[in-house]
Amino acid sequence: MDKKLKKSSSRNWSEIRSVLFQSLPDEVFSKENQKEWLTYHWNLVVGKEISGVSTIDKVTRGTLHVKVEGKEWVSVLEPLKIKIMQEINSRAGESLLNSIVFKPAA
């Protein structure tokens, strides 16, 4: 009996991420705020070490341009591109990015 109750009551629950996402005003996701939104989620997705050596430069036509401290980071981050894009798109609830370009900071 307890299993049935638990199973039926959990059907109505949503992930907190989706509930919070739906509760935010549309202005938060406007083009003007897109870079800020991406920067916030970039830091969460890649973690402290990578976010410490990388900066979101710009977003153009679905391509995220990221500056990294030193060319050695480009080769380290290249294999992680797809995983990072998938996580950011998942958080956005849409296909926001289709490419990431890493560039060494000048």
Distance CA 74, CA 72 (A): 5
Instruction: Say how many domains are in the chain.
Output: 1
pTM for the predicted model, two decimal places: 0.69
Domain span holding position 80: 53-106
- Residue 51's CB is within 10 A of a number of other CB atoms, namely 15
Under 8 Å between Cβ of 66 and 53: no
Q: Per residue in 11-62, pLDDT tens?
A: 566 566 566 656 655 554 455 678 889 999 999 999 999 999 999 999 999 9
In this structure, is residue 69 part of a structural domain?
yes
In this structure, is residue 43 part of a structural domain?
no
Distance CA 54, CA 42 (A): 9
In this structure, is residue 47 part of a structural domain?
no
In this structure, is residue 30 part of a structural domain?
no
Q: Per residue in 70-100, pLDDT tens?
A: 999 999 999 999 999 999 999 988 899 999 9
| pLDDT of 5 | 52
